[in-house]
Structure 1
Amino acid sequence: MTSETSEHFQRMPHRAPLRERRGLQLSLLIVNQLLAGIGVATGLALASILVADLTGVPALGGLAQSASVLGAAVSAIPLARLAVRSGRHVALAAGYASSAVGAVLIVVAAASGLVPVVILGLAAFGVGSAAGLQARFAATEVAAPGFEARSMSLVLWATTIGSVAGPLLSETGDAFGRSVGLPALVGPFVLSGIVFATATLVAAAALRLPRAGRLAADATGAGSAERIGSWQAFRAAFGDLRGRLAILAIVCAHTVMVGVMVMTPVHMTGHGVTIGLVGLVISIHILGMYGASPLMGWLADRVGPPRVIALGGVILLSSTVIGMFAPGDSMVLVPLALGLLGLGWSAALIGGSALLTSSVDPASRVALQGATDAAMNVAAAASAALSGVVLGVAGFAGVNVVATLVLVPLVVAGLAVLRDARRRVAS
């Protein structure tokens, strides 16, 4: 037996257990994303209406999503650092636990009429969204080589079931809340709190993901991953054409999606649409966000992330154009616009995240992921807050016009990458 053959047989026993561990951890990530999807969507489906009712000012409904997204933004970098120090599963558990606490705060404060505490609770609630988004990067870390985008998309796809079911459960949660004496629209957060507490237990007790910093150190042969600052990594990536495209794909797509989505329930209820139908439209939107994610992941691995980003940009533009002309009570155009909004977000986020992961040095990858998610959520929080003002001044058409303008930097970055690619081919 040759030494090569001997080494081959010595390695064989280790390969199957490695594949099994990867499969188990990916399966647990999928289960947890399902739970997180239910938790986020059940509460946030009606959060803007809750805040509008509590304040008596419809334009302030955007503060609900703004507070939630801002909470996700503030927590993105700390969660990334926690993933480096203690493991992705610890960061996920911490994020889901924060959402469970936030749900409790919202229920207690809304029942007492304490609007500022409701906003604080929504900020804590939003941390679960940051954890759920960072789970997509955890999927790439347990993926087999060459299947990173597909693994990421499977974890995002798992959110489909929970996120579609969540808004549909909102009406049931509302009825339950009323039956136990809670104010209208508060009951869904009771269900969200229970679901997030369950997700916390799953992440803490069953998930066992490696420290993100150790993965980067293994890739580089040094422990430099923990010494690179998040914003230092962000600036370096933004100075590169492909890195800039990846960052803008994530940030612009999320900003457009949040800005339009958060005002849709307020726009529809203002035209007499029932809460049940609003929940149905939000479910269609979330189905668009996550339902086609395996296809987007497969495309990113096969044709490259930049092409998937371009596809996302075209779909987002189609959505905003339809939204400009959609009456608030149209159960054809509004669901179509919101479905395309989610689908475009899916393509841009998966393409951008895959490009972000592949175009930077492993030593800076985790820090950059945290900084990009923070930037994405800060921009989306501003979009959610301003969209209420835009809705009041220019209507739903104005909200979609502003969303279209947000796509301009993404288009510019995409054209720059295309010109650079053509220049390289020509030379």
Structure 2
Amino acid sequence: MTRADRTPRRAVSLTVLIVNQLLAGVGVASGMALAAILVADLTEVTAMGGLAQSSSVLGAALAAVPLARLAVHAGRHVALATGYACAFAGAVLVVAAATSGWAPLVFVGLAAFGAAAAAGLQARFAATEIAAPGFEARSMSLVLWATTIGSVAGPLLSEVGDEFGRSLGLPPLVGPFLFSATAFALSGILVGAFLRTPRAGHLETDERALGGAAEPAAAEGAPAESEPAGTTETEAEPAAASAQATPPARVGAWQALRTAARNPTALVAILAIVCSHTVMVGVMVMTPIHMTQHGLSIGLVGLVISIHILGMYGASPLMGWLVDRIGSTRVIAIGAAILLTATVIGILAPGDDVLLVPLALGLLGLGWSAGLIGGSTLLTTTVEERLRVPLQGATDAAMNVAAAASAALSGLVLGIGGFAGVNVVAIIVLVPLAIAGLRLTMVGRRAPA
């Protein structure tokens, strides 16, 4: 089997993933930009607006594992297309519910809407499967970078979408969801028709490992498993071909999570993703409230959030390059240090400081980027193939559940301890990652002995 057979149309598939992320980013951002206001208007309860984001995040968490399972059974293109189809249905449901005035149905639609976020997260793993060996992180980072354009363009289209909806006789704030539905429909058609990847969870480095090359885990400080005694190079080549032809045994998402949690390297990868995302969401969602409480304008709030998004996605190619050059664990450590710096600035900076608050939010996004790309690459390259996709789904589900809880509780923390309290809690969230990192370092030092 040739390399072209293993990674079909690598350049085409990567282009499809990048364009898809751009479209999906527009779809998510254009609708969610006004979702909280729409819910608050429908329910006539301002506090209910915060549940719009929570519904979408929980929907992403619920969709993550089924989409991962579908990727194993039918392929990444089917899983991604299904995710965007669900999001399309959710956007249509939001339009119908808001038009009829039935507020509870809006939350159902927003939950289905969250499937687009779950699909977008799965797309980063699909990028590693079509990448050349040694370029997995850079391929992932390019796909994430495309989200920058969509995330910035989406809110800019919200006003146009609102005017378009009003021209069709729809209630205010509903029109942007028509744009979301269109973007999701195009995304689903694009990946379903043109995206082709190797078997979900399979990397070219898997074949190299079976052929006698070092395991990727060894590069990250974890001891690699040795070849069975007596295996020669000529015997290893048929074994690699057999492994490619025969799908690995299926493993459930939670079984994969429990198994990986016993591996120090995989545990660091999981915690890097979950903790980075939890810290980012918890601090980010309270920053606009904190700023407006100190008299800063809505325009400045929007600028700070834009700086934050730029830190999240704009720097992702740099993070991907760093991961491929210096290793995932080092980038995760850099990300944790950046997040710690951001939260310390958040504790010390006055709420009306127009320099330190944007700096803290920019660093918060940058630390998230390092943690997500470093953790996702480490998770992909250091676990065996049979665990890879179900573990990816379980980790994405965990990060979204944690983010939903963080968004819901951060308002309570803000009321009790102020913005400094929110950042102190964020530092506490980083503690498990620090402990797991120290444990991995100790394991790496003992391995030579």
TM-score, length basis structure 2: 0.84
1:171-224 per-position Cα deviation (integer Å, ceiling 9, x unaligned): 443444455554554333232222112111111222223441677896846756
- What corresponds to 1:3 in structure 2? none
Q: CA deviation at 1:264?
A: 3.3
C-alpha distance in 1 between matches for 2:275 and 2:424:
14
In the other structure, the counterpart of 1:109 is 97
Q: Decide which of 129, 148, 159 is 2:117's aligned counterpart.
A: 129
SS at match of 2:383: coil
1:187 matched to 2:210? The reply is: no
Distance 2:264 2:61 in 1: 24
Query: Which stretch shows the higher mean deviation, 325-334 or 286-295?
Result: 325-334
Larger deviation, residues 318-327 vs 285-294 = 318-327
- 1:28-60 CA deviation, whole Å, 9 max, x = no partner? 111101111111122223433443444455444
Contact 1:214 1:223 in 2 (8 A): no
Residue of structure 2 equivalent to 1:371: 394
Counterpart in 1 of 2:325?
302
CA-CA distance at 1:266 after TM superposition: 4.2
Q: Are 2:201 and 2:388, in contact at CA under 8 Å, matched by a contact in 1?
A: no
Segments of 5+ residues of structure 2 without an aligned counterpart are: 207-239
Q: Percent identity?
A: 70
What CA distance in whole angstroms lies between the structure 2 residues aligned with 1:46 and 1:331? 25
Asked if residue 388 in structure 1 is aligned to residue 411 in structure 2, the reply is: yes
Output one character per residue of 1:327-365: Cα deviation in whole Å (capped at 9) or x when no partner: 555543333222211111110011101111111111211
In the alignment, which residue of structure 2 is the partner of 1:5?
A: none
Work out whether 1:322 is the aligned partner of 2:348. no
Residue 232 in structure 1 maps to residue 255 in structure 2: yes
Cα displacement (A) at 1:277: 4.5
* Deviation per residue, 1:154-178 (Å, 9 max, x gap): 1111111111222333344344445
Q: Which deviates further from its counterpart, 88-97 or 283-292? A: 283-292
Taking the aligned partners of 1:96 and 1:222, their CA distance within structure 2 comes to 29
Distance in 1 separating the partners of 2:56 and 2:323: 30
Structure 1 residue 81 corresponds to structure 2 residue 104: no
Q: Report if aligned partners of 1:59, 1:388 keep a CA contact under 8 Å in 2.
A: no
Deviations 1:240-285 (A, max 9, x none): 1111100000111111122222333444455665655444333222
- 1:28-427 matches, within 5 Å, as 28-178=16-166, 180=168, 182-212=170-200, 220=243, 223=246, 225-268=248-291, 276-326=299-349, 330-425=353-448, 427=449
- Letter paired with 1:115: A
CA distance 1:137–1:415, shift in 2 (3 Å): same
Q: What are the Cα deviations for residues 265-314 of structure 1, in whole angstroms up to 9, with x where unaligned? A: 44445566565544433322221111111111111111110100011111
* SS in structure 1 at match of 2:248: helix
Q: Secondary structure at the match of 1:212?
A: coil
Q: Which amino acid in 1 is paired with 2:129? A: E
Is residue 84–residue 226 contact of structure 1 (8 Å, CA) maintained in 2?
no
Bigger proportion of residues as helix: 1
Equivalent residue pairs, number = 414
Residues 372-406 of structure 1, C-alpha deviation per residue, up to 9 Å, x if partnerless?
Answer: 11111111111122223323433333322222211
Answer whether contact 1:32 1:199 (CA < 8 A) is retained. yes
Output the CA distance in 1 between the equivalents of 2:107 and 2:242: 42
2: CA distance, partners of 1:330 / 1:187 = 36
CA contact (8 A) 1:136 1:155 kept: yes
Contact 1:77 1:374 survives alignment (8 Å): yes
Q: Is the 8 A contact 2:8 2:197 kept in 1?
A: no
Q: Is the partner of 2:447 in helix, strand or coil?
A: helix
Distance in 1 (CA, whole Å) between partners of 2:254 and 2:101 is 39
Secondary structure, aligned partner of 1:93: helix
1:95 Cα offset (Å)? 0.8
What letter matches 2:116 in structure 1?
G
| Contact 2:334–2:370 (CA under 8 A) maintained in structure 1 | yes
Asked if 2 retains the 8 angstrom alpha-carbon contact of 1:45 and 1:279, the reply is no
Change (3 A) 1:367 1:45: same
Contact 1:37 1:163 in 2 (8 A): yes
Query: Shift of the alpha carbon at 1:90?
Result: 0.9
Query: SS where residue 227 of structure 1 aligns?
Result: coil
Bigger drift between 386-395 and 133-142 goes to 386-395
User: 1:213, 1:225 within 8 Å by CA — same for their partners in 2?
Assistant: no
Root-mean-square deviation (CA, aligned residues, Å) is 2.7
Range that drifts further, 211-220 or 192-201: 211-220
- Greater shift in the superposed pair: 224-233 or 275-284: 275-284
Q: Measure, in 2, the Cα distance between the counterparts of 1:208 and 1:350.
A: 23
CA distance in 2, matches of 1:359, 1:119: 38
Alpha-carbon separation, structure 1, partners of 2:248 and 2:122: 17
The residue aligned with 2:232 is: none
Q: Which moved more, 1:392-401 or 1:200-209?
A: 392-401
CA change 1:310–1:399 in 2 (3 A) is: same
